[in-house]
């Protein structure tokens, strides 16, 4: 039993901010006496944070984003148990089961290509690049379901500006982690797609303030099945553009290959902007079902972010560039 004054004491209460994300350092800083004072159950809680190794405390002092929707959020339970993450199985309930032991620490993201300063960012560095914001976004899967999620992160442009892309950087290529040892289902013959999972954005899309480098959701780190420890979220595009468990970012001169386009170019284009007027070859995209609801609702142009992003596509035939 905990015998101190404040049984709900958390990591955040007892550590300076810089130490939140390093448990070993934290325990060292506490010293034996401090650790003993915490005693019992709570020390065990600290030693095995609830969701991920960068956890230990819920994120606090999150900046509220003007881009957040006021629509009703889906529950954490819904968002963490209905996933597409083919590295951990192709069924929606499999990632939550199969990603449990996925090791997300240590973690680093290398940034390469047409930049002045190539750089590898550790996860600890990424978490300190900018104030973390809460961004409540609609997320529309190409399969016809949608969710509303309070993501945590900051605009991808923050990181991009740090490495100083050269004028040759016209697109950004993203790559996910891939390790058959930890992801035995991540084989083309089982999943029907190539690995590692790759995605891409045009430079202006990547630099748009809505494009989020995401490190958490619901005030905490990302659950493994939602793309821990760091992923992209591009809310006006179909969900498959929002690549999970990022390890590499390359600034490149040409449009890079993307996983679903490689798998089936006829059905999945490079742009993949949510568009109720352009059907998928096998189904309509006009309506969608919000997880947890019975009746379908109309899908909005650019997933409801038309005012912010339509200017990126002026003059483009969106039936051709789907
Ligand atoms: N590496 C990787 N990223 C991925 C996927 C995947 O299978 N592998 N699935 C995509 C698809 S189709 C969707 S809809 C979203 C789902 O994100 P969520 O499970 O957090 O809702 O992740 C995208 N990112
Ligand atoms: Mo999706």
Q: Which positions of the chain have pLDDT values less than 70?
A: 1-57
Please list, residue by residue across 33-62, b when 16 or more beta carbons sit within 10 angstroms of its beta carbon and e when fewer do.
eebeebeeebeebbeebebbbbbbbbbeeb
Distance 225 CA to ligand 1 centre (A): 9
Which residues partner with 201 through β-bridges?
Answer: 172
Please tell me the residue having the least CA distance from ligand 1 atom 11.
240
Report the alpha-carbon distance of residue 81 to residue 37 in Å, rounded.
37
CA of 260, nearest ligand number: 1
CB 275 within 8 A of CB 302: yes
CA of 222, nearest ligand number: 1
Of 152, 122, 124, 153, residue with least CA distance to 23: 124
- Record the tokens describing residue 127, joined without a space: 């978490």
Longest dimension (CA), the chain: 67
Distance, first Cα to last Cα, the chain = 59
64 to each of 34, 70, 154, how far by Cα in Å? 34, 12, 11
Intervals of CATH 3.90.420.10 along the chain: 60-313
Q: Domain 60-313 is in which class?
A: alpha beta
């Amino acid at each position: 039993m905990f015998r101190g004054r404040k049984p709900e004491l958390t990591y955040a209460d007892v550590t300076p901010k810089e130490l939140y994300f390093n448990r070993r350092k934290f325990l060292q800083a506490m010293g034996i006496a401090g650790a003993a004072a915490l005693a019992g159950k709570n020390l065990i809680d600290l030693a095995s944070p609830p969701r991920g190794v960068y956890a230990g405390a819920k994120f606090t002092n999150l900046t509220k984003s003007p881009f957040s929707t006021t629509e009703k959020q889906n529950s954490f339970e819904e968002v963490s148990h209905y996933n597409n993450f083919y590295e951990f199985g192709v069924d929606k309930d499999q990632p939550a089961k199969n990603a449990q032991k996925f090791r997300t620490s240590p973690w680093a993201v290398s940034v390469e290509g047409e930049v002045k300063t190539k750089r590898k960012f550790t996860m600890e560095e990424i978490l300190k690049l900018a104030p973390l914001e809460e961004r409540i976004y609609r997320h529309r899967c190409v399969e016809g379901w949608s969710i509303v999620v309070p993501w945590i992160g900051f605009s991808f442009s923050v990181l991009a500006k740090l490495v100083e892309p050269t004028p040759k950087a016209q697109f950004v290529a993203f790559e996910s982690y891939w390790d058959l040892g930890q992801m035995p289902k991540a084989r083309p013959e089982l999943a029907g797609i190539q690995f590692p999972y790759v995605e891409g954005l045009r430079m202006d899309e990547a630099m748009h303030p809505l494009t989020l480098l995401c490190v958490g959701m619901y005030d905490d780190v990302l659950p493994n099945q939602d793309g821990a420890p760091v992923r992209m979220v591009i809310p006006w595009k179909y969900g498959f553009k929002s690549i999970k468990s990022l390890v590499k970012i390359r600034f490149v001169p040409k449009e890079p290959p993307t996983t679903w386009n490689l798998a089936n170019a006829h059905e999945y284009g490079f742009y993949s902007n949510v568009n109720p007027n352009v059907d998928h070859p096998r189904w309509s995209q006009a309506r969608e079902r919000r997880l947890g609801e019975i009746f379908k609702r109309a899908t909005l142009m650019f997933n409801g972010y038309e005012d912010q992003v339509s200017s990126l596509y002026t003059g483009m035939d969106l039936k051709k560039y789907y």
